[in-house]
Amino acid sequence: MRVGYYQFQPEFGAPGRNLEKVENALAGADADLIVLPELAFTGYFFEDREELNELAEDVSASRTVQGLTRLCKNNDFYLVAGFAERCRGRVYNTALVIGPSGLLHCYRKLHLFNTEKEYFDPGDTPLKTIAIRGVHVGVMICFDWVFPEAARSLALQGADLLCHPSNLVLAYCQKAMLTRCLENSVYAITANRTGKETRPRGELSFTGQSQIVGPKGETMAISDSGEEAVVVRDIDVSAARKKLFTENNDLFVDRRPEFYDI
């Protein structure tokens, strides 16, 4: 299985141009699955709910979803992509899973970060895994990293690979994801964006450093903070299915949930 990410700088409020950029960057990519950043087509730092609502799309009539499906079909790969989703009067910070036959799954971010709480509705979709070419894929979005329950829930459902579209502005996530991988014995792809957004609410700088991490917490690839790049690595899914930490410790069997008050 060849998996990777596209780290880039989306242009705020320009979904058509961002889609074109993604199409150009990924045409001909030799991969089975590629992860894009959070909110990869709209940009991130919305002024208010009205602005978000205007830029968000309903998946059933979305030029972005149509374009990404065409891209998957033409290149025979799958995508996990951050997307501003409008649905029945609500707006969600969503990750789409799309393949050659179209949209397979929407995950709506459970743990909204900072000002996102003012304009997004909190996610209402369960954490679940999807099988793609024999690999069990779990999806989480950016700030979900700070709640280890998200990665753990996906791992307990059998996720081999966590796909993690992100728009990170703090410095902690990349290191924390090494632990999420180690404690669950899973692979993870954090696809972060680069660049700055100067908007009515202020300026945000995104930290890049997208990464692919292996089930022993090893960094298999990491980008610079500012570069735009498509990065792909081979993963051996059997390594994620070995939950033995020592010959006497199994990461899942040795849990003591009867003592955890959560």
* Residue the block writes with tokens 């895994």: 129
Kindly state the smallest distance separating residue 43's Cβ from ligand ACM, in Å: 12
Task: Determine whether 53 is exposed, middle or buried from the number of CB atoms within 10 Å of its CB (0-12, 13-18, 19+).
Answer: middle
Q: Is residue 216 annotated as a catalytic residue, yes or no?
A: no
Kindly state whether residue 142 participates in binding ligand ACM, applying the rule CB under 6 A: yes
| Residue 143 within binding range of ligand ACM, rule CB under 6 A | yes
Nearer to ligand ACM, 42 or 167 (CB): 167
Residue with tokens 């410095």: 171
Q: Which one-letter DSSP state was computed for residue 239?
A: H
Q: Does residue 38 have an active-site annotation?
A: yes
Q: How many residues bind ligand ACM (CB under 6 A)?
A: 7
Distances (CA, A) of 43 to 6, 19, 83, 256: 15, 12, 9, 42
Q: Restricting to residues 106-125, name those near ligand ACM by CB under 6 A.
A: 113
* Nearest partner of 197 among 13, 4, 5, 23, judged by Cα: 13
- Taking CB under 6 A as the rule, does residue 168 contact ligand ACM? yes
**Cβ 116 to ligand ACM shortest distance, Å:** 7
Nearer to ligand ACM among residue 104 and residue 169 (C-beta) = 169
List binders of ligand ACM among 12-71 (CB under 6 A): 38
Of 161, 217, 216, 218, which is closest to residue 191 (Cα–Cα)?
161
User: Can 106 be counted among the known catalytic residues?
Assistant: no
Give catalytic residue positions.
38, 109, 142
